[in-house]
Amino acid sequence: MSVDTTTITEVSEIDRRMLEALICPQTHTSLKYSAENQELISEAAGLAFPVRSGIPIMLIDQARRIE
Burial class (CB in 10 A: 0-12, 13-18, 19+), 51: buried
Nearest alpha-carbon partner for 38 in 9, 61, 64:
64
pLDDT at residue 30, rounded to an integer: 93
pTM reported for the whole predicted model: 0.75
Region 1-20: mean pLDDT is 58
CA distance 25 to 48: 12
pLDDT tens digits along 23-54? 999 999 999 988 899 999 999 999 999 998 88
Q: Phi then psi for 6, rounded to 5 degrees?
A: -125, 160
Domain spanning 8-65: which CATH class is it, in words? mainly beta
